[in-house]
Amino acid sequence: MHDINDGFRIEGEYRGEKYTVHRTPLQTNSLHVEYDYCYIKPFDCFDISTENDSFYCYPTKQNIITKLAFATEEIYLLHQQNKNG
């Protein structure tokens, strides 16, 4: 999930353990995108990294990667401006 107030939230399960990765808008000033990323799946994706892992996300909606990248930057700027008054 990605929204203007909460940023990115990834929830899932791996080897029977639930996990959550959360990046607030001020923690994510840009988004790393890959077009036709052939090493995992041959589709467009973006990744969210933690200190120990990278989560490659493949949106089900097509042609959205560039929009996500721009939205991430704009949301960061809005929160940065609000923070600075």
27-79 pLDDT, tens per residue?
999 999 999 887 877 899 999 988 888 888 998 888 899 999 999 999 999 99
Residue whose C-alpha is closest to residue 8's, from 61, 42, 44, 55: 55
Looking at the predicted structure, is the pLDDT value of residue 85 above 80? no
Domain boundaries, the chain: 2-83
